Amino acid sequence: MVGSAGHPWLEACAKLLPTGWLTTHDLATIQRVWLYGQLIANTDMHDGNLSFQPVLRDGTPAFALAPIYDMLPMLYAPVRGVELPRRQYAPKLPLPADTSAWQAAARAALTFWRTAAADPRIGDDFRRLCEDNGDLLSQLL
């Protein structure tokens, strides 16, 4: 829609701000969600995984961010026809301008990893991996 297919969500969506179709609040949410996805090892955050709903804002057509979906640690998804390879979780520190949003996303991601590590419905090996990922992320906070 804005000629930014394949770019990070925030970069692509920032082009909608001057049009009035998105608000700065929407962009801040998109940034936190993008960072959260990176911090939970979601390697599948493509253009089709961010959606909007048409709305009227003060009588003017605009977009509202739709509920977030398909947000999971795809780094660990099986590859078709291949045994599950061992993958390394490597969370990245933020750029200085992203520090505040990154910290909020990192706290949420840490909750994700700790909750998964304690969930008895998840197999022992993956729960240990989740615990290790939470420990690694907590060292960066």
Q: Which of 26, 44, 58, 132 is catalytic?
A: 44
Tokens of 114: 């700790």
Catalytic annotation present for 70: no
Residue 65 in 3-state DSSP? strand
CA distance 120 to 105: 25
Residue 22 makes CB contacts below 8 A (sequence gap 6+) with 13, 16, 52, 62, 63, 65
Contact present, 102 and 94 (Cβ < 8 Å): yes
CA distance 36 to 120: 23
Contact present, 42 and 74 (Cβ < 8 Å): yes
- Length in residues, the chain: 141
Active site residues: 44
